[in-house]
Structure 1
Amino acid sequence: MTYLETTAQFYQAVAQTPEVGLCCVQSSPLQLPGLKIPAIMAEMNYGCGTTVHANELGQAPTVLYVGVGGGLEALQFAYFSRRPGAIIAVDPVAEMRVAAARNLSLAEAENPWFERSFVELRAGDAFQLPVPDASVDVVAQNCLFNIFTPTDLQRALREAFRVLKPQGRLLMSDPIAARPIPEHLQQDERLRAMCLSGALTYDNYIHQLIAVGFGQIEIRARRPYRLLDCQQYQLSEPLLLESLDSVAIKVPVPADGACVFTGKTAIYHGESEFLDDQAGHILSRGVPATVCDKTAQKLALAYPQSVWVTDSTWHYSGGGCC
C-alpha cells in the first residue's frame, strides 16, 4: 500500500467519524460578519492554519480548493465569491465529498446569504485538477501538500501553476520543520497522513515553489504548530514543526531571482533626506520601507553604514517593494 492509499483510508475514516483537533488543536475558524459555521463543520477543521486571506479575495475570484475536508474553507471562500460555481472544491475521497456536501447544506440553512450552488464539489486530486489551463484566479490547499513526497509535491505544484491565470495566486498552509525530518518518521505512512512527518524545512519549501515558476512569494503567517518529542518519536532532540501560511503569485521569476516577502524592512539613516539606489528603491530617512528579502540583502550589502535591515516578522500583507 502506498502512502497516498494510506492517506485516503485515513480520511475516509475521519470523514465518517470526525476527530476534533486532528491536525491542529490551536486552529480556530476565521470569524466573518454574518457567517455561521455548523458545529460538525468546525469539528472537521483539518488544517494547520488558514488559506482564507481577505486581501487576496477581492472582486469575487474563482477559487479552486484542493482537498475539501469538511467544507469549512470552501464556505469561507464563498463568503467572498457569492455566485454559482465560484468555488470548485476537489477531493479524491468520496466519503469526504459526501460529508462536505452535508455540511454545506447545513450551512445553507444557517446562512441566508449562502446558496449551495456557490460551491461545486468535484472528484479529483492534486495531480490532475479537473479544470482547464489558466482558468482560475486562486488555488488553495490547507495541510495537504505536506503529505506528499518531494517528487509528488512538484507534480502538485506544477498542476496548480497550470490552472492559475496569469497573476493568479496559490494560497497554502502547511507545516514546516525546523530541520529535516528523520527518515524513520518520513517512512511512517500514518504520521505522514496526520501531517506530522512529511514537512519540509522553510528553505526547501520556498525552493519548491520557485522551481515550478512562481516569481513572487509572500508569507502571511508563521507560528509554532507541534513539537515532536524524543520519547514518542525516537529522536535525539525535540523537533519543532511550524505552521506556514503563504501566497505564491504566478508572475515570471525575475532574472536576479524570485521575490520572497517575509516582513523585512529597510531603514535609511544617512545624512541626506533620502536614498535613491538607482534601482527603483527610494528610502526616506528614518522611515521603514517594506522590501523583499532579496532587496533587503542587496541594500544591506551596498549601504552597510546607512541602511538598517530589520529581521523577518513572518507576516506580510502587501505594499512592499521588490
Structure 2
Amino acid sequence: MATIPKIDSDQAVAERYAGAAQQREAALCCPVQYDRSLLEVIPDEVIERDYGCGDPTSFVRPGDTVLDLGSGGGKLCFISAQMVGPEGRVIGVDCNAEMLQLARKHAPTVAERIGYANVEFRNGMIQDLQLDLDRLSAVLADQPASDLSSYHALRHATERIRQERPLIESDSIDCILSNCVLNLVKVTDRRQMFAEMFRVLRVGGRVAISDIVSDETVPETLTNDPTLWSGCISGAFREDEFLQAFHDAGFHGMEIVKRQAEPWQTVEGIEFRSVTIMAYKGKQGPCRERNQAVIYRGPFSVVKDDDGHLYYRGERMAVCDKTFRLLQAEPYAQMFDFIEPREPIPLDEAEPFACKQNARRHPRQSKGFDYNATTSAPTDCGDECC
C-alpha cells in the first residue's frame, strides 16, 4: 500500500493567510451577519480581509478582558473593543506577520473613532500562549542559533521568556474568542492548545468559539491536502470530539449555542458546517457538605452534569457547596431552584462531601430535624395572591 505523504500544515496555513492578508480570498469565509453599527468604525481593509465562520462576540460583556485567538486582521478585536468599553481590554494573538501588520496598522484609527485605546495585538501561537514571538525574535537577532551550543542557549532563553514574561498570564482572561482558527492547528498540538485556553482563563471565565466541524471522521487522504487544510476543511474537528476536547481540558457547561443547519461545504459525502460553542472554567476545587440542595425544574425527567451528578426533575438533590454555587451561574441558573439550610454551616467547618452518591436531600436536613414551626397564611399579600 502506498504511503500518503504528510503535509506541513503550519506552512500551508502561513502561506495561504499571508496571501489572504494582501488580497481577499472568498473561499476562506462563511457568510456571517454582524451588528452593522459595530462595523462602522472599522476600516474597510480590515473588513475585506476578515475570514471566519461565526460571530462569537455576542458573549462579550462590558468590562471584560477579552482574548481573541487567531485574531487575523483584528475585526473581532475591534468589535469587542466597543462591547467591553473603556474599562475593558482586548488582546489579539496571531503568528502571521502579514495579518499582524494589518491589525496593528489600523488599531490607532479604531481607537480614535471610538474615543479610547483598549486593543493590542501580540505575536504568538495559540497553542503556546506563554511564548512571545516578538521577544523570541529579538533574542534570535542578538544570538542566532548556528551550532549546538547556541541552540541550547536559545532553548534556555525561550523558557525564560515563557516563565518570566509570558505572552498571556495565567488566570487573566474573562472571555476567550476565536473564529474559525482552532481547526488550523496541527492535531498533535491541539491538546496543548486547549490546556493553554484553560490556563489563561480566570475562574468563572468563559470561551466562545466559532469553528468548522465535520459530521464524520476526516480521512487521511483529505487531511493531507494542503488546500483543504488551509481552507478550514480537512482540519475540522469531528462535532462530538470538539465538545469532548473542552471537557478533557477541564471546562464545564459546554453548549452548542449556534449550529449551521445546512453544511457550508460537503467533500466526499462528509458535511462541514459552522458551530459556536460556549464553555466555562470553575468546577475545580474541594467538595464540602453544607446541607444545601437543588431542585431541577425540568423539562427532562433527569439530567447529568459534566461531573456525573444526576438531577431528577422536582426532587431535592444533595450537592456540595462548590456545585451549589456553580449551578447558580451560567449556563445553569435558570434550570434550578436553590435551597439553603436554615442554619448555615461555615465553610471552614464543613465536612467532605461524597459527590458521586447522587443522593436526595431530605427536607429536614436543610430545615433542621428539630424544626417545628407553625405559621399562618399572610393576611395581605397584595397582587402576589390569587
Pair in the same fold by TM > 0.5: yes
The 8 Å contact of residues 127 and 192 in structure 2, kept in 1 or not, is answered as yes
Judge conservation of contact 1:292–1:320 (CA < 8 Å) in 2.
no
In the alignment, which of 67, 70, 74 is matched to residue 67 of structure 1?
A: 70
* Aligned position for 1:227: 265
Counterparts of 2:176 and 2:102, CA distance in 1? 21
> In 1, distance between residues paired with 2:97 and 2:39?
30
Q: Which residue of the partner structure matches residue 16 of structure 2?
A: 10
Residue number in structure 1 paired with 2:34: 29
**What amino acid is the match of 2:295?**
H
Cα distance 1:40–1:253, how it changes in 2: closer, same or farther (>3 A)? same
Q: 1:183 aligns with which of 209, 217, 220?
A: 220
- Equivalent position of 1:241 in the other structure: 272
Q: CA contact under 8 A between 2:38 and 2:79: conserved in structure 1? A: no
- On the 8 A contact 1:177/1:201 being kept in 2, the answer is yes
> What residue in structure 1 maps to residue 126 of structure 2?
126
Name the structure 2 match of 1:94: 97
Asked whether the equivalents of residues 81 and 88 of structure 2 are also in contact (C-alpha less than 8 Å), the reply is no
Identity score, percent: 27
Answer whether contact 2:209 2:278 (CA < 8 A) is retained.
yes
Question: Deviations 1:209-246 (Å, cap 9, x if unpaired)?
Answer: 100100221222111342224xxxxx2xx221121111
Partner of 2:148 in structure 1? none
Give the match for residue 203 of structure 2.
Answer: 166
Aligned CA distance change for structure 1 residues 142 and 125 (closer, same or farther; 3 Å): same
CA distance in 1, matches of 2:12, 2:96: 12
Distance in 2 separating the partners of 1:178 and 1:207 = 14
**Aligned positions, number:** 272
SS of the equivalent of 2:57 reads coil
DSSP-derived class of the 1:280 partner: strand
1:46 is aligned to 51
| Equivalent residue runs for 1:144-155 within 5 Å | 144-155=181-192
What are the superposed Cα offsets for residues 114-168 of structure 1, whole Å, 9 maximum, x if unpaired? 43x3111111111221111111112211111112243311111101111111111
Query: Is the 1:291–1:320 Cα contact (8 Å) retained in structure 2?
Result: no
Q: Distance in 2 between matches of 1:146 and 1:290?
A: 36
- Do 2:295 and 2:311's aligned partners in 1 also have CA atoms closer than 8 Å? no
**Greater displacement, 99-108 / 86-95:** 99-108
For the 8 Å contact 1:216–1:251, the answer to whether it is kept is no
Query: 1:38, CA displacement in angstroms?
Result: 2.7
Contact 1:213–1:250 (CA under 8 A) maintained in structure 2 = yes
More helix by percentage: 2
1:243–1:79 distance in 2 versus 1, CA, 3 Å: same
What's the offset of the Cα at 1:104? 3.2
Q: String of CA shifts for 1:246-287, please: whole Å, max 9, x gaps.
A: 1110122699xxxxxxxxxxxxxxxxxxxxxx972343xxx8
Q: Which residue is equivalent to 1:280?
A: 294
| Cα distance in structure 2, aligned partners of 1:19 and 1:252 | 41
Task: Provide the rounded CA distance (Å) in 2 between the counterparts of 1:103 and 1:19.
Answer: 20
Instruction: Report if aligned partners of 2:63, 2:88 keep a CA contact under 8 Å in 1.
Output: no
**Whole-Å Cα distance in 2 between the matches of residues 254 and 291 of structure 1?**
25
- SS of the equivalent of 2:36 reads coil
TM-score, scaled to structure 1: 0.74
SS across alignment from 1:65: strand
* Cα distance in structure 1, aligned partners of 2:332 and 2:120: 30
State the match for 2:83 in structure 1. Answer: 80
SS in 1 for 2:294: coil
Q: How much has 1:299 moved relative to structure 2? A: 6.9
Give the TM-score normalised by structure 2: 0.62
CA distance in 2, matches of 1:173, 1:228: 18
Question: CA distance change for structure 1 residues 225 and 28 in 2, over 3 Å: closer, same or farther?
Answer: farther
Looking at structure 2, the residues matched to 251 and 222 of structure 1 have their Cα atoms a distance apart, in angstroms, of 25
Query: Quick one: which amino acid aligns to residue 227 of structure 1?
Result: Q
1:157 equivalent among 184, 189, 194: 194
Q: Which runs of 5+ in 1 are unaligned?
A: 230-234, 256-277, 304-315
Task: Give me the whole-angstrom Cα distance separating, in 2, the residues matched to 1:4 and 1:105.
Answer: 30
CA deviation after TM superposition for structure 1 residue 294, in Å: 4.9
Q: 1:13 to 1:114 in 2, by over 3 A?
A: farther
Ranges in structure 2 where 5+ consecutive residues have no aligned partner: 1-6, 130-166, 287-291, 316-329, 337-386
Cα distance change, pair 40–16 in 1 and its aligned pair in 2 (3 A): same
- Distance 1:183-1:253 versus aligned 2 partners, 3 A rule: farther
Larger of the two Rg values belongs to structure: 2
User: Partners in 2 of 1:4 and 1:302 — Cα distance?
Assistant: 52
AA matched with 1:104: A
